Amino acid sequence: MFDFYGRRVFGKPPLLEKLLLNKATADETFRHLATLVDDHGLEMIAKNEERLLRHPPIIAALYLNPKTRMSTAQRALELAVRNHVRVEGIPAFDEAAKAIQQSGAPTAEQAAADDAAFARAAEIATDQAAGLSLMAVDENEAAAQAEAEAQAAEAAVESSDVAEEEKKQKISDLSPAGKIRLATLGNAFARAVLIRDTNHQVAMAAIRSPAVTDMEALRYTNNRGLDNKIIHYNK
């Protein structure tokens, strides 16, 4: 019953709060709501550490939701790493875990800065190729669309245009953990920037993204500046 109502009250804050505070609410309902609710709801979900450790898919849902603050996503993931819990469903989990272990817990000031930086980057790193989107009706058209998106992303990264440079800088300003998350959630433009990052974990997260198309991968193999491990990575 709680699962039935849980999927219908995410837009009603008072009812949602009661549901999230109810111990009888199913873990799977929490996972589903983590893909839908607003900032307040996401924070409530993330604070329930017992549930997160008991049902790691909730952590994955928080991490993969672009609306989740960077600090909240990192805190949830750090909880899993600290308790030796592997979170399936996060393509670059190993890279993200290493970044957390290397950087340690951020201060309140660093967390706020990371939140702001990720929000800025996310604004320009999603739906970059929306103008190229076509209603693919067959394999040839789908392939042509993928090629157009990959080509547009590469052109934008190689461009010295001021606007494009500003976009690249917003991505470069992210912390390693932020870059790894954006590599998973971002578009072709974000991946084209991050796969060139000097941090191997960031570059590996970019190639691990499930959104990487065959056309993107083909273009990466022709880039002599990339690490051989990235070029020869096979999903």
Whether residue 65 contacts residue 42, with contact meaning beta carbons closer than 8 Å, is answered with yes
Q: Which residues contact 24 (CB under 8 A, 6 or more apart)?
A: 2
Whether residue 233 contacts residue 205, with contact meaning beta carbons closer than 8 Å, is answered with no
| pLDDT string in tens for the chain (235-residue length) | 445 444 555 556 777 888 889 898 999 999 999 988 889 999 999 999 999 999 999 999 999 999 999 999 999 999 999 999 999 999 999 999 999 888 878 889 999 999 999 999 998 887 543 333 433 445 555 556 666 666 666 667 777 677 788 988 999 999 999 999 999 999 989 999 999 899 999 999 999 898 888 888 887 777 777 777 776 665 5
pLDDT of 49: 97
pLDDT of 173: 94
The one-letter amino acid at 195 = I
Q: How far apart are CA 176 and CA 170, in angstroms?
A: 13
What's 125's DSSP letter? Answer: S
Structure tokens at 163: 């606007």
Helix ranges (H only) for the chain are 2-6, 13-21, 27-33, 39-47, 49-54, 57-64, 70-82, 93-103, 108-124, 139-158, 162-172, 176-185, 188-194, 200-208, 214-221, 228-231
pLDDT of 128: 40
Hey, how many other C-beta atoms are within 10 angstroms of the C-beta on 152? Answer: 18
Q: How far apart are CA 211 and CA 166, in angstroms?
A: 24
Report the chain's C-alpha Rg in angstroms.
19
pLDDT of 14: 77
Q: Could you write out the DSSP letters of every residue in 143-166?
A: HHHHHHHHHHHHHHHH---HHHHH
Q: How many CA atoms lie within 13 A of 139 on its CB side?
A: 1
